[in-house]
A and B are shown apart, each in its own frame.
Chain A
């Protein structure tokens, strides 16, 4: 490689670190949203790099739907312990108990949409002025229009048709009382970049990303994990399959893929050969063509 040149991963890394430092400098009470999935793990890793040798100067916040893969929660708690990071957890169950949201019923019930209320309440209660998220523009078409610094009105809503122009690396985080920002430090990363970076940096991730045997059943072409949270239809049968997860979200709407990949090298080769997007395993996006746009307008991640 030429002199004064860095590869694409190092350039993305430098950009994300710049964005995260900008958040720490421009906001008084930022948090970083952390789900325990690979994107938020990478984002947190970048935050540690941004402030070394000091600790990350903000808390992480997890919106817990209660429908977790136990492996993710264990991983999360170990990581917080190891890095001495403060974690705030807000529970969707609490929003349900307080009567703020009504739980969906039926076989395809999901708490995914309810998270928005819990998140916005958390932001308001804790007077958070900026929430960083691990959203990437390559994930979904509405996300492709998202800014690094995304302004939210006092109702937490996104107005995609009226976004502030964003030029060079000059980020405008100015806002009125009660408004907040969502900032997406890894906007420009693709799924492939994330995996390559995890490999390059040897970042620890929950073991359910790797191949393992699991009890699953087929619904709408997805392999869903058998769990207490998902009622099964009589016609649906439990099967043992060798699978892994490409994304980790709420257990009720994250499908597994059949895979033998049990190392990062294998995963990278699998992602390179894959002919579907990772969102293809996400049940929540299939509800309608503009499902993500609608959820984002309301204040979703």
Chain B
């Protein structure tokens, strides 16, 4: 194997999302990252050059690289979450580019749900504004482990260190208020590339890393929960062949914790205890499994296990509950029905539920809790309680992004109407 080939085999995967108000430069920044890291190909560049010319732009608009639908290109806006990819020798990146206008909250929540990091853009001319607060609140609600505040358009404030420091101090107050742990700051110009991939010559006062450098190096492995062994059973494997006549394997993805052969485990909801006999894969047995691996668990005892059940550590179980309190983000044009019935999808489990109460809604611009108005409509964030028709095996979202999250589905339209985070 040549060095060139083997080098690709120890890259890590980092998923990040971008947040900012309309025109703060999100699309331009992503275009810049792709362009400067050479992830844009000639035929793509040619295509956007032609589009830019058609629209009468003087310069090539890098934002066109991410705006994929016809309506978006025509109107110069981003309608929906778009996914972009690029790689450096250290990491492969998946970017969720979310639009900054209407339906903003819904899209940002979607992009944030799988992100390891969030880039929050601030226009250096405007500083920390109400919207910044909102973006930071959502990033924190979705428990994105790392926040990178990109103070953009530094070219329009003469690359002023003073402006940068002022915004940084203002933001630190926000972070404190929201209890955000890991925040970094970078002064950039997305348009001209300062501190995006290459260090800025215009801001020699900035001694920190470039954005790409930071994205390549922030620690992500430790963001996963390696403590609480949780394995939602996704599918039961029963080969119809003589060779594997008695084989019953439980296929799924490790949600959290570590599983090893010999581990004492408990199966929920039955509560029956057994041990892990082996961890099977197509390529043979493993001596351990951890998130986010997809494996098949083989248990010592012949007990009845099916999709929706959860195999957990015998010592440390999730809560088994029917009355649940959660923060939700409403994602549908039709408002939530008071005491409405919905289907909940939680890990591989599914249950009907009834909304009991709306405790409060959050005003995402001021972060105040609103208790007078209980109507939960599109883009609203609210704290609700609901009762499910059968027990769910849950951890709090703060401790576990997988066993702490769920979606709500409208039983009439089948649409996904809300995203939920268990408290």
Tell me, in angstroms, the Cα distance from A142 to B4 when the chains sit together: 32
Q: A274 to B41, Cβ gap below 8 A? A: yes
Q: A25 to B235, Cβ gap below 8 A? A: yes
Residue among B1, B91, B405 making CB contact with A168, cutoff 8 Å: B405
Judge if B271 is at the interface, Cβ distance under 8 Å: no
Q: B247 to A53, Cβ gap below 8 A? A: yes
Q: B43 to A161, Cβ gap below 8 A? A: no
Contact with B along A241-265 (1 / 0, CB 8 A): 0000000000000000000000001
Interface segment among A62-70, A171-179, A203-211: the answer is: A171-179
Known: A4-B224, A24-B235, A175-B414. A167 touches B9 (CB 8 A): no
Q: A269 to B5, Cβ gap below 8 A? A: yes
Least CB distance from A185 to B in Å reads 11
Q: What number of residue pairs across chains A and B have CB atoms under 8 A from each other?
A: 200
Least CB distance from A292 to B in Å reads 9
Q: B419 to A165, Cβ gap below 8 A? A: yes
Q: A14 to B293, Cβ gap below 8 A? A: yes
Residue among A170, A188, A276, A279 making CB contact with B405, cutoff 8 Å: A170
Known: A53-B239, A168-B402, A293-B70. A14 touches B41 (CB 8 A): no
Q: A25 to B43, Cβ gap below 8 A? A: no
Least CB distance from B321 to A in Å reads 18
Tell me, in angstroms, the Cα distance from A25 to B348 when the chains sit together: 9
Residue among B8, B241, B294, B407 making CB contact with A21, cutoff 8 Å: B294
Q: B416 to A172, Cβ gap below 8 A? A: yes
Smallest CB gap from A193: residue in B: B92
A residues less than 8 Å from B71 (CB atoms)? 161
A residues less than 8 Å from B294 (CB atoms)? 13-15, 17-18, 21, 50
B residues less than 8 Å from A188 (CB atoms)? 83, 85, 94
Tell me, in angstroms, the Cα distance from A276 to B46 when the chains sit together: 10
A residues less than 8 Å from B407 (CB atoms)? 167-168, 170, 172
Query: What total of chain A residues lie within 8 Å of the partner, measured CB to CB?
Result: 71
Q: A8 to B91, Cβ gap below 8 A? A: yes
Residue among B114, B240, B348 making CB contact with A54, cutoff 8 Å: B240
Q: B8 to A280, Cβ gap below 8 A? A: no
Query: Contact residues of A with B, CB < 8 Å?
Result: 1-15, 17-18, 21-22, 24-25, 48-55, 137-138, 141-145, 160-161, 163-170, 172, 174-176, 187-188, 190, 192-193, 196, 199-200, 265, 268-269, 272, 274-277, 279-280, 289-290, 293
Query: Contact residues of B with A, CB < 8 Å?
Result: 1-2, 4-5, 8-13, 41-44, 47, 50-51, 66-71, 73, 79-85, 87, 91-92, 94, 106-107, 109-110, 113-114, 221, 224, 226, 234-235, 237-241, 243-244, 247, 249, 251-253, 258, 280-283, 290, 292-294, 296, 307, 331, 343, 345-346, 348, 401-402, 405-407, 409, 414-416, 419
